[in-house]
Amino acid sequence: MTEARVSEVRAFNRFYTKVIGALQAGMLDSPYSLTEVRVLFELAQAERTETGGLRGLLGLDAGYLSRILARFERDGLVVRERSAADARRQLVRLTPAGAEVFARLDRLSADEIGRLLDGLAEEEQQRLVSSMAAIRGLLDGTREREPYVIRPPSAGDLGWVVSRHGVLYNAEYGWGTAFEQLVAGIVGGLDLTRDAGWIAEVNGERAGCVFCVREDDTTARLRMLLVEPSARGLGLGRRLVEECLRHARAEGCKRITLWTRDCLVSARRIYQAAGFELESEEKGTENGIEVTEQVWSRDL
């Protein structure tokens, strides 16, 4: 974490609360605040809701939620009652008037978001929605493991491979543009009529890659394994390596090698789990930073 990153997140929060009108006295020209509208939303999702569960779901103080529900009662939007099964539990439900108010606010909200999206081109809309999904996924501690797709490279993928290697390895290890040029040279030397590659996607977004390059009649080389930070922990790296090994065997190769650096600990664990063994290593430098170059290999 850096001060610049904290500052950027705070700037985004200020910007987006202004966009959605969260700082206005009432949301969607209603007399209700953002929190109150959120309570109405949750109440609309079930016939009856236990107040303790509602409090936990929204992370609200018990007194604050009680005041919101008391206001809704005065406005005729909700009814509170004791549970027949347990008198200690309080249940709350929307009245017909409350359901009508929620339906109107829900419609106004959808219309407002529609107008926001209409001001953007199709590609910009896709970028916006994808970025929002990424933020929600990263910050939601309860998210499930996301499904992924592995496919052959298509137009635009090779440029992405070069760009993401340059950006990620510079951010994480400080390797600079020379490393990006190195990757560009590897990509430029691919012959996809003979060599093979795979792109991993998570929720329609590129999240990883690997390539299998033919060294000679009996030897293949695994190259450019990469997994985006947002997709790490899904087993993508292992799955990409397995695809590379499967292809090399199918092509009749008897041996496969790879080049890496000892600081790439997560990648090395994947290689070791896949049966690769360290063959040689030597010292080197990248952008003035000392590195240890390694060659790993295994029989197929």
The verdict on 132 and 74 lying in the same domain is yes
Q: Is 235 left (phi over 0), alpha (psi -120 to 50) or beta?
A: left
pTM: 0.57
The answer to whether the beta carbons of residues 205 and 127 sit under 8 Å apart is no
Question: Amino acid identity of 190?
Answer: L
Closest CA to 230 of 151, 106, 145: 145
If you average pLDDT over residues 29-39, what whole number do you get? 81
3-state secondary structure of 258: strand
If you average pLDDT over residues 259-276, what whole number do you get? 93
The verdict on 243 and 205 lying in the same domain is yes
The verdict on 176 and 35 lying in the same domain is no
Give the pLDDT band of residue 42 (cuts 50, 70, 90).
confident
The total number of structural domains in the chain stands at 2
The verdict on 170 and 210 lying in the same domain is yes
Tokens representing residue 285 in the block: 């430098």
Higher-confidence residue of 9 and 162: namely 162
pLDDT in tens, 225-249: 999 988 888 889 999 999 999 999 9
Q: Residue 264: what pLDDT?
A: 92
The verdict on 109 and 191 lying in the same domain is no
Q: Residue 110: what pLDDT?
A: 83
Closest CA to 240 of 267, 262, 219, 218: 267
The answer, yes or no, to whether residue 22 has pLDDT greater than 60, is no
Q: Residue 62: what pLDDT?
A: 85
The CATH number of the domain holding residue 9 is: 1.10.10.10
Percent of the chain exceeding pLDDT 90 equals: 46
The verdict on 154 and 100 lying in the same domain is no
Give Cβ neighbours of residue 94 (< 8 Å, ≥ 6 apart).
40, 43, 44, 77, 78, 102
Sign of the CA dihedral with 117 first, then 120, 122, and 124 last: negative
The verdict on 187 and 134 lying in the same domain is no
The answer to whether the beta carbons of residues 236 and 228 sit under 8 Å apart is no
Q: Residue 26: what pLDDT?
A: 56
The verdict on 175 and 125 lying in the same domain is no
Q: Residue 190: what pLDDT?
A: 93
Instruction: Provide the domain limits for residue 43.
Output: 3-139
Q: Residue 254: what pLDDT?
A: 95
Enclosing H/E stretch for 26: none
Tokens 């509170």 locate to 80
Which of 120, 139, 158 lies at the terminal end of a domain, its last residue?
139
Angle, helices 236-250/265-273, rounded to nearest 10 degrees: 50
pLDDT in tens, 81-118: 887 777 778 888 899 998 898 888 888 888 888 888 88
Which of 139, 163, 186 lies at the terminal end of a domain, its last residue?
139
Residue 296: exposure state from Cβ atoms within 10 A (0-12, 13-18, ≥19): buried
The distance from CA 26 to its chain's CA centroid, rounded to whole angstroms, is: 32
Rounded to whole angstroms, the Cα distance separating 197 from 152 reads 6
Which of 118, 139, 160 lies at the terminal end of a domain, its last residue?
139
pLDDT in tens, 213-226: 999 989 999 999 99
pLDDT in tens, 187-214: 999 998 889 999 999 888 899 999 999 9
Per-chain mean pLDDT for the chain: 87
The answer, yes or no, to whether residue 1 has pLDDT greater than 70, is no
